Amino acid sequence: MIDISIRELKNKTELPYNLLFLADDSKDAVEDYINRGTCYGAYIGQTIVGVYVLLKTRPFTVELVNIAVKKEYQNKGIGKKMVLDAINRAKIGNFKVLDVGTGNCGIHQLALYQKCGFRITHVDRDFFKRHFDEKIIENGIECLDMIRMRIEL
Ligand code: COA
């Protein structure tokens, strides 16, 4: 098992933009998230290998956005550790609900979130068609709908 430490990234200059863009192609969306949310970095020693952002959306509700693990470190359990860390921080912060959204084509992401306790609440149909000009295909599946998931804390 890889040993990682996760800490808040308080200084904008230490934000790993290449990683943040791995989870979201939209520069504007990433800028908006990091300005309104709190960023956390996962480290192996001094090397940053993962990132996620927690964004307050409504009273007692926070959303996990922009989670990403460096390509060469994926599939080693780091993503799951970061999701569990996000759940824990949301609980400690006295939030009642943690939301997350992912594309219908994101098989890995859908597995990861459900393994961490998230349940599907609804489907935002044609979300990706509405917001992106280019077709997104992952795992041979066209990304059309946003699967909205939630965990009650
Ligand atoms: N079926 C069943 N389980 C699957 C699966 C599949 N096809 N693919 C992955 N999983 C499971 C793994 O088995 C693991 O569960 P386990 O520990 O209980 O066995 C779980 O998913 C998480 O895997 P993990 O290794 O922790 O994930 P990761 O470190 O690769 O991080 C992402 C996951 C999504 C953050 C990473 O792949 C990534 O950065 N992707 C690009 C950016 C992105 O898409 N971000 C999400 C935006 S919504």
Residue pointed to by tokens 């390509």: 71
Read off the pLDDT band of 27 (50, 70, 90).
Answer: confident
**CA of 112 relative to ligand 1 center, distance in Å:** 5
Indicate whether 51 pLDDT > 80: yes
Contact 70, 19 (CB under 8 A): yes
Cα atoms in the 13 Å half-sphere on the side-chain side of 30: 19
52-80: pLDDT as tens digits: 999 999 999 999 999 999 999 999 999 99
Nearest to 90 by CA among 43, 48, 135, 37: 37
Q: Which two tokens stand for residue 88?
A: 């824990």
Nearest to 78 by CA among 92, 93, 68, 63: 68
91-138: pLDDT as tens digits: 999 999 999 999 999 999 999 999 999 999 999 999 999 998 999 999
Q: How far apart are CA 122 and CA 128, in angstroms?
A: 15
Report CA torsion sign: 23, 29, 35, 36.
Answer: negative
Question: Can you give the pLDDT at residue 1?
Answer: 77
Residues forming a β-bridge with 148 = 101, 122
Q: 148 CB under 6 A from ligand 1?
A: no
Best residue for ligand 1 mutational test, from 24, 80, 137, 145 (most atoms within 8 Å of Cβ): 80
